[in-house]
Structure 1
Amino acid sequence: MAEKVIENNKVSVIGEIISEFSFSHEVFGEGFYMAELSVNRLSEQADVIPLMVSERLIDVHRDLRGSTIEAIGQFRSYNRHEGVKNRLMLSVFAREIRFLEEFTDYTRTNQIFLDGYICKPPIYRKTPLGREIADLLLAVNRPYGKSDYIPCISWGRNARFASGFTVGERVRIWGRVQSREYTKKLSETECEKRVAYEVSISKLEQDAE
């Protein structure tokens, strides 16, 4: 049953490790660590994506900055408590890691598939230049009654299509994981630069059942 559930959240990213590993948490004596992975786009920009790995999967105590790896796993979320608020934290949870000596096929550096349920009404809008955008929040089930909550963004015809989705509706999404800088207003005089992570949708479909 668990293996079937995991099929609804699959991600593969290829990029360069650009930070040292830092301790995140421990489960049943197994330590999990975080690092940043720089993943190139075809546009020559790069997404910097948080990567979570087990100490049993990779030597987290070595300085692996500059190494190119392929990480295969799931895109996961958890709520971090910040004072009285919760903040949604996202990362690629690696189930497999492979070191690559050389890599040239940048068409497959960043791929994700999600099969989940709409858990908030879609937010549809147009930019000042007339570009159509729709924001979705997808709940993707995990074993043992858990769920990951994944922000997704769609464009153009996909955005128009997604704007009609209803809460509870099951949808499938293909795309890539992206990072985006934004400014968070903390008070009338104080702002903070933050990074948001989301799935940029290239294809989506409603459940046919």
Structure 2
Amino acid sequence: MTDKVIENNQAAVMGKIISGFTFSHEIFGEGFYMMDVEVARLSESYDIIPVMVSERLIDVDANYEGEYVSIYGQFRSYNRHEERRNKLILSVFAREITFVDELEESARTNQIYLDGYICKEPVYRKTPLGREIADVLLAVNRPYGKSDYIPCICWGRNARYAGSFEVGAHCAVWGRIQSREYMKKLSEDQLEKRIAYEVSVSKLERMD
């Protein structure tokens, strides 16, 4: 049963470690830490992806900045309470880490597969230039009754298709994890730059 649940959330990223380790939390004596990995896009820009690692998987006292790694795991979420509201925090939970000498140009450095359920009405819209976009929030089951809530963004035909899905629809998505900067309005005259993480969907399939 557990293996089947794990199969519904598979993420693989390859890139360069660009930060040290920051303590996140401890469970049953096992410490978990956060680090940032820079993952190249085909467009020659980058996504900065937060990765959660166990101290049993890597030496968190060492300095690995500038090292290249291949990481396999899951894209997970949790709610952090701040300023009287909950904020959805997303990161790749590493199950395996391998150090690599360099990244081949042909390597697929950012892949994700999710099998879950629509848990919020999809939002379909068009940009001023006419590009079709749909925002989808996918609930992906985890063992022991937990779920991860993963924001996904669809484009073109996939956006039109996703826009017709009802809450509770079972679907699978394939794509990549992306980071995106945006400005958060804190007050009438105060803006703050923040980073959102989401799955950019390349393929979408209805499962029910």
Q: State if a TM-score over 0.5 links the two structures.
A: yes
C-alpha distance in 2 between matches for 1:126 and 1:83: 32
- 2:47 maps to which residue? 47
- Are the aligned partners of 1:13 and 1:111 in contact in 2 as well (CA < 8 Å)? yes
C-alpha distance in 2 between matches for 1:202 and 1:23: 34
Aligned residues: 208
What's the CA shift string for 1:85-105, capped at 9, x where partnerless? 000000000000000012214
Please identify runs of 4+ aligned residues in structure 1 that moved more than 2 A: none
C-alpha distance in 2 between matches for 1:164 and 1:106: 35
Report how far residue 3 of structure 1 moved: 1.0
5+ residue gaps in structure 1?
A: none
C-alpha distance in 2 between matches for 1:154 and 1:163: 9
- Are the aligned partners of 2:24 and 2:33 in contact in 1 as well (CA < 8 Å)? yes
**TM-score, reference length from structure 1:** 0.98
1:24 aligns with 2:33: no
What's the CA shift string for 1:27-79, capped at 9, x where partnerless? 00000000000000011000000000000000111110000000000000000
Aligned-partner residue type, residue 171 of structure 2 = V
SS at match of 2:198: strand
C-alpha distance in 1 between matches for 2:193 and 2:46: 18
5+ residue gaps in structure 2?
A: none
**TM-score, reference length from structure 2:** 0.99
- 1:115 maps to which residue? 115
What's the CA shift string for 1:139-174, capped at 9, x where partnerless? 000000000000000000110010000000000000
Alignment of 1:53-202 (within 5 A): 53-202=53-202
Name the % identity: 68
C-alpha distance in 1 between matches for 2:59 and 2:94: 14
C-alpha distance in 2 between matches for 1:134 and 1:23: 35
